[in-house]
Amino acid sequence: MLRSDDRILTTHVGSLPRNAVLTDLLIRGEDGEAIDRDELRQQSERAVRYVVDKQVASGVDIVNDGEQPRVGFQTYVAQRMRGFGGESKRPRPRDYTDFPTLLAQLPHRYPRRAKVSNAPQAIAEVRYEDLAPAEDECRMFRAALDKLPSPPVGTFMTAASPGIIATTLLNAHYDSYEAYVFALSREIAKEYELIARDFILQIDAPDLALERTVLFQDKSVPEFIKIAEMHVAALNEALANIARERVRLHCCWGNYDGPHIHDVPLADILPVLTQAKVGALSIEFANPRHQHEYPALKRAKLPPEFLLLPGVIDTKTNFVEHPEVVANRICEAVDAVGDRSRVVASCDCGFGTFAGSELVAEEVVWAKLKTCREGADLATKRLWGKA
């Protein structure tokens, strides 16, 4: 895990916008249509090279492949593991129940996008028998990195947590929900270990916050915390063979521009997050619903083995934050952690969570990452007294 003793480093959460051709291929492939697999590979390779170059040009220190070959940050699992079929009936977030006009807008805003609430479900024993697609994605990323004039400061690649897979690709086979989660843990561990050999592994685990308002919206906060603790236990089992320093954990309340009035407070879930055997936590702090959460972090005193990757850029709006705003947010994060070397400036969530459902225009994404860099430079000057 990358600390810095002389400046604030920058990164992001993982997914980046896909071009129209690649988006079409990914969605058609997920729908079961016959597509040209060679064309998909070529388009994916070009897209990975493009987003790597754009990240570097925008001043990002710790880069990734933008999840370009994946149809969705967690639904890609159904295309790599065996045992899935049919259709899940995932409930909508409570936001859409309380604000039905918002729900009515969705088909107009996203006329064609990857499956989310209707993803496949587990209809047999889940098995990860063919790592070739994951190996191919790693190969594409390495190839793009090799073409850079000089290597970036750091690299990472994302993978879905057992919990978010289980809450999206619902269980229609196992005797209990817990048995399903741990079955997923044992299988997804293969992908984790593959990624961690070459890159920092980022675990995407919105289940540890978001699912309080989705699959577990009928549960009390204490009941939800117990479920989240079980999710973390399953994750830790999957990470057993990977050093803590090779893993960072992303948790969020859902990358959609809803009211978010039912979000579970950070103070309630932070003790759960710190149970994870990882070296860094990536948490939302930039959007209007969670900008106030730093005092909870300061009271909890982030354990010394953790770095913090605070969201200082909002991924749900096309506003480009002013560098001074970004610097203020970084300095607030440093104050909460108490150590400038343990803070890496990041974004709230991904910019391309699912193919076809990007909230931020591509050109604005690069502007936001550039302003993150500028804000980090201002914060460096404040925190170290130098440019």
* Percentage of the residues of the chain whose pLDDT score is greater than 90: 91
Q: Is the confidence at residue 190, as pLDDT, over 90?
A: yes
Angstrom distance (rounded) from CA 379 to CA 195: 32
Q: Where would I find the H helices in 242-361?
A: 266-273, 294-300, 323-337
Angle formed by the axes of helices 177-196 and 221-238, to 10°?
40
Nearest 5 degrees, angle CA 159-CA 161-CA 166? 125
CA distances to 32, 129, 242 from 356, in Å: 17, 29, 33
Angstrom distance (rounded) from CA 171 to CA 166: 7
pLDDT at 387: 63
Q: Is the confidence at residue 258, as pLDDT, over 80?
A: yes
Tens digit of each residue's pLDDT (9 = 90 or more) over 69-100: 999 999 999 999 999 999 999 998 998 889 98
Burial class of residue 325, CB neighbours in 10 A (0-12, 13-18, 19+): middle
Residue 308, beta-bridge partner list: 281, 343
pTM of the predicted model as reported, rounded to 2 decimal places: 0.96
pLDDT at 97: 86
Mean pLDDT, rounded, of the chain: 95
Q: Sorting pLDDT into bands at 50, 70 and 90, what band is 107?
A: confident
**Sheet with strand 344-347: strands edge to edge:** 9-10, 344-347, 307-313, 280-283, 247-251, 200-204, 154-160, 62-63
Radius of gyration of the chain (CA): 19
Q: Is the confidence at residue 112, as pLDDT, over 80?
A: no
Q: Is the confidence at residue 360, as pLDDT, over 90?
A: yes
Residue 313, beta-bridge partner list: 347
Q: Sorting pLDDT into bands at 50, 70 and 90, what band is 17?
A: very high
pLDDT at 198: 96
pLDDT at 268: 97
Structure tokens at 343: 């803070």
Identify which of 272, 274, 276, 252 has the alpha carbon closest to the alpha carbon of residue 351: 252
The architecture CATH gives domain 9-384: Alpha-Beta Barrel (3.20)
Q: Sorting pLDDT into bands at 50, 70 and 90, what band is 2?
A: confident
Domain spans of the chain, in order of start = 9-384
Angstrom distance (rounded) from CA 159 to CA 195: 9
Q: Sorting pLDDT into bands at 50, 70 and 90, what band is 116?
A: confident
Strands 121-127 and 280-283: what pairing? Answer: unpaired
Q: Where would I find the H helices in the chain?
A: 20-30, 37-57, 77-80, 94-98, 100-109, 132-146, 162-168, 177-196, 221-238, 266-273, 294-300, 323-337, 362-384
